[in-house]
C-alpha cells in the first residue's frame, strides 16, 4: 500500500497580497519522483516556497510524515524536508565541503564543531555526488553543473526523506541537465527519497518522473503517470499549444515531438 510523506489540506498561499494557491488539497506519494509542470505564473514556485515555509501560508494545513508542520520547530522540519531554490547563493569564499557541512546544522549546536560521525556523513556525500576531488575548491570556481551537485549534497546532508527542488536544471546546458536529473533519480531509487521538483522541459519531466502534476491558475488540474499527462489534450489545456506526442524508443515514456 502506497503512503504519503507530504500532505496538503485546504492550503491557501498569497504572494504580494495576491492569492495564488486557493484551497489546495494534495498528497505526494512516498519514495516517488513527482514533477510539477505548468505555465509561468501558475503557482509552481509559490507552492514549493509555501511547503518549505519560506512563504507564510494564509490558511490550511501541511503535514510532514503525519505531523502538522505548525507543530514542528524549524530544526525538526529541517530533518524532514530540504528545499533547493532556483538560484541558491553561497558565501564568496565557501568551499564545496563548507556548503555540504551546512546541511548538518539541524543536528548540532551553534558552537559545537563537526563530529567524526558527521565528518563521515559529509565524506560519503562527497563520494555520492562525485565531488570528493573538489571538496576544497571554492564554489565560485565551479561549473553550473558542479554547483548544483554541491547544493544537492547540502540537501543530502540534512538526511531528510523529502527534497523539494525549484527548477534544478535552470541555466544548465543539456548535458548537465541530464547529469543532475540522473543523480536525483539514482538518489531516489537507492535511498527512497521523496522528490518533488519543478521542471519546464516537458520531455525531461516525462523521462525522469514517476508522477507528473499539471498546474494552472493556482490549481492542480492534472496528476498521473507521464502517459496520462503527456497528451495533446492536457498540454493544450495547460499551455495552449497543439502538441504532437510520440514514444521514446528506449524507456517507452511519452515525448513531445513538436508543438505549435
6 Cβ contact partners less than 8 Å away, ≥ 6 residues apart: 27, 28, 51, 62, 63, 64, 81, 162, 194, 196
Same domain, yes or no: 99 and 62: no
pLDDT at 108 over 80: no
171 and 149 in a common domain: no
Phi, psi (deg, nearest 5) at residue 61:
-130, 145
Question: pLDDT (tens digit, 9 = 90+) per residue, 145-196?
Answer: 999 999 999 999 999 999 999 999 988 999 999 999 999 999 999 999 999 9
Domain boundary among the residues 109, 137, 159 is at 159
Q: What is the pLDDT of residues 6-42, one digit of tens each?
A: 999 999 999 988 999 999 999 999 999 999 999 999 9
Q: Is residue 119 part of a domain?
A: yes
pTM: 0.94
Range of the domain at 48: 1-80+161-221
- 255 lies in some domain: no
In a domain, 234, yes or no: no
CATH at 202: 3.40.50.300
Residues 6 and 73 in one domain: yes
Residues 76 and 166 in one domain: yes
Q: Which residues contact 136 (CB under 8 A, 6 or more apart)?
A: 95, 96, 97
Amino acid at each position: 500500500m502506497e503512503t504519503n510523506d507530504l500532505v496538503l489540506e485546504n492550503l491557501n498561499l498569497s504572494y504580494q497580497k495576491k492569492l495564488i494557491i486557493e484551497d489546495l488539497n494534495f498528497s505526494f506519494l512516498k519514495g516517488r519522483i513527482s514533477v510539477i509542470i505548468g505555465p509561468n505564473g501558475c503557482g509552481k514556485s509559490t507552492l514549493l516556497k509555501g511547503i518549505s515555509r519560506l512563504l507564510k501560508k494564509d490558511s490550511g494545513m501541511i503535514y510532514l510524515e503525519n505531523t502538522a508542520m505548525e507543530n514542528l520547530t524549524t530544526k525538526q522540519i529541517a530533518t524532514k524536508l530540504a528545499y533547493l531554490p532556483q538560484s541558491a547563493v553561497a558565501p564568496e569564499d565557501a568551499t564545496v565541503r563548507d556548503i555540504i557541512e551546512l546541511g548538518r546544522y539541524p543536528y548540532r549546536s551553534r558552537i559545537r564543531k563537526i563530529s567524526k560521525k558527521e565528518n563521515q556523513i559529509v565524506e560519503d556525500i562527497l563520494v555520492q555526488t562525485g565531488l570528493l576531488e573538489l571538496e576544497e575548491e571554492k564554489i565560485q570556481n565551479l561549473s553550473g553543473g558542479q554547483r548544483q551537485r554541491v547544493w544537492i549534497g547540502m540537501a543530502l546532508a540534512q538526511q531528510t526523506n523529502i527534497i523539494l527542488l525549484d527548477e534544478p536544471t535552470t541555466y544548465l546546458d543539456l548535458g548537465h541537465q541530464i547529469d543532475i536529473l540522473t543523480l536525483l533519480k539514482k538518489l531516489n531509487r537507492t535511498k527512497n527519497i521523496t522528490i518533488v521538483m519543478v521542471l519546464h522541459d516537458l520531455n525531461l519531466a516525462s523521462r525522469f518522473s514517476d508522477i507528473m502534476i499539471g498546474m494552472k491558475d493556482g490549481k492542480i488540474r492534472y496528476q498521473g503517470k507521464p502517459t496520462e499527462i503527456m497528451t495533446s489534450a492536457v498540454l493544450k489545456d495547460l499551455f495552449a499549444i497543439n502538441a504532437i506526442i510520440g514514444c521514446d524508443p528506449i524507456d517507452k515514456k511519452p515525448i513531445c515531438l513538436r508543438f505549435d
